[in-house]
Amino acid sequence: LELLPSPPRAAAVEVAGWLAVAMDYSSVQPLDGDMLAARCGPAPGPSAVLGSEGVGRVVRSGVEERFPVGSRVAFVYRRLGEECGSWQTEVTLDLSSACIALLPTNLAPQVAAAGLTSTFVAMACLRHFKAGDTVVVAPACGA
């Protein structure tokens, strides 16, 4: 086993609706193995960063009115298998590529990451549905 240096990170593209999040916790789940084995899209390159969801603190925000600096958020990338990268110390998200939910101040981030990340993210994603839409919940308890 050889430890390779990380490639330099590209400068974050700060587009409308962006925020930078210092990661506290990120999940490890079967989807990560599927991405690595190219079972849900092309195999990632050697410098790819896996991870599809997480919990962290907002450190910079282009949407300060919704996600103020210092607040904690839970998120999941919208296009799983195409977008990933939560296994790093800081991620730059935008509202078009991630479902992002503000966490209550009385909820510890490790609790959110351990069991509620998916719940908070689902709540954030529900805003895209209207009354009368059908939502199918397949096996909803992980692997």
Residues 42-51: tens digit of each pLDDT: 666 777 777 7
- 113-to-23, 28, 44, 49 alpha-carbon distances in Å: 11, 11, 25, 19
Q: Which of 22, 56, 33, 48 is nearest to 142 (CA)?
A: 33
Residue 25 has pLDDT above 80, yes or no: yes
Over residues 100-113, mean pLDDT:
87
Its pTM stands at 0.69
Q: What is the pLDDT of residues 41-94, one digit of tens each?
A: 666 677 777 777 899 999 999 888 899 999 999 888 777 666 777 888 999 898
